[in-house]
Amino acid sequence: MASPTLAFLFTQRVVVGVGDMAVANNPQITLSTYALGSCVAVAAYDPALKAGGLLHLMLPDSSISPAKASAQPAMFANTGLPLLFRALNGIKVERSRMRLILAGGASMLCNSDMFKIGERNIKAVSDYLGANGYSARHSVLGGTNNRTLHLDLSTGAVTIKGPNATEAFSLAA
């Protein structure tokens, strides 16, 4: 059996919870988020810096709870997305090199989902990105299954796992 590499021994996983966000410019970090049902994850990566960020937003619009948005802005698309991009700018991620991937937005209650939170989250993210000149390289959105997303900052590799499949993408090229 081969010995683990030094890089592997020092790799750290940063778990981004529901309604939270993280950015990092340390290539030894993997950003991960779990339980993406109707929530949407927005992962961003700068391959030159080996830096990126991950947002796990829960709801499309903060107007339903301004106090909650003030305390936890990453919970909402309209407050979390600007927060993510400001934080990425703060660690010197270049907009021109930034690559995005989206995941989540499932309809967890299937056809009886009268609130359509997944659909509304997808629309809110798409509208914000479009209005601000961003576009996603890849997206794994909708459906009825939850997902997990991992972004390896050392390589730009993104893994999106669902109950029936695992998809792999590269944001490095």
Q: What is the average pLDDT value for the chain, to the nearest integer?
A: 93
What does the pLDDT average to over 72-82? 98
Which residues span the domain enclosing 133? Answer: 6-170
Q: What percent of the chain has pLDDT over 90?
A: 87
Which pLDDT value is given to residue 7? 56
Task: Judge residue 66's burial from the number of C-beta atoms within 10 Å of its C-beta, 0-12 exposed, 13-18 middle, 19 or more buried.
Answer: exposed
Name the residue with higher pLDDT: 68 or 111.
68
Residue 103: inside a domain: yes
pLDDT tens digits, 48-59: 999 999 999 999
CATH number at 158 reads: 3.30.1330.200
Residue 128: inside a domain: yes
What is d(CA 80, CA 73) in angstroms, rounded to the nearest whole number? 5
pTM attached to this predicted model:
0.92
Using CA atoms, how far residue 121 sits from 40, 44, 47, in Å, is 7, 17, 27
Residue 1: inside a domain: no
Give the total number of structural domains in the chain: 1
